[in-house]
Amino acid sequence: MTVTGSKPLAGYRVLDLTTFLSGPFCTQILADLGAEVVKLEAPEGDSSRHIPPHFVGRDSAYFLGINRDKKSIAVNMKVPEGLALVRKLIAESDVVVENFRPGVAGRIGLDIESIRKELPRLIWASISGFGQDGPFRDRPAYDMIVQALSGVMSLTGEPGRPAVRLGIPAGDMVAGMYAAIAVNAALADRERGGEGRHIDVAMLDCQLAMLSYQSTYALVAGVTPQRQAARHDSIPTYRSFVGGDGRELVITANTERMWRSLCDVLELSELPSDPRFASGDKRLINREALWVLLENAFRARPAADWIEPLAVAGVPVALIKTVPEALSDARESGRGMVMELVKDDGTSIDVVGNPIKFVGVEEEAGRYPPELGADARAILDSWLGLDNTHVAQLLACKAVQWRDPVPQ
Catalytic residue positions?
A: 232
Distance CA 355, CA 339 (A): 11
Residues 6+ apart with CB under 8 A from 77: 42, 83, 86, 108, 109
Q: Provide φ and ψ at 92, rounded to 5°.
A: -95, 5
Q: Provide φ and ψ at 44, rounded to 5°.
A: -85, -5
CB 204 within 8 A of CB 129: yes
CB 316 within 8 A of CB 240: no
SS3 345: coil
Residues 6+ apart with CB under 8 A from 63: 46, 48, 49, 51, 369
SS3 for 72-97 is: EEEECCCCHHHHHHHHHHHHCCCEEE
Distance CA 253, CA 114 (A): 56
Q: What is the largest CA-CA distance in the chain?
A: 86
Between vectors from CA 95 to CA 91 and to CA 96, what angle results, nearest 5°? 80
Distance CA 249, CA 158 (A): 17
Distance CA 195, CA 189 (A): 8
CB 102 within 8 A of CB 128: yes
Distance CA 340, CA 348 (A): 7
Distance CA 30, CA 190 (A): 17
- Edge to edge, the sheet with strand 238-242 lists 238-242, 248-252, 317-319
Between vectors from CA 53 to CA 51 and to CA 58, what angle results, nearest 5°? 65
Cis peptide before 369 (omega within 30 of 0): no
SS3 193: coil
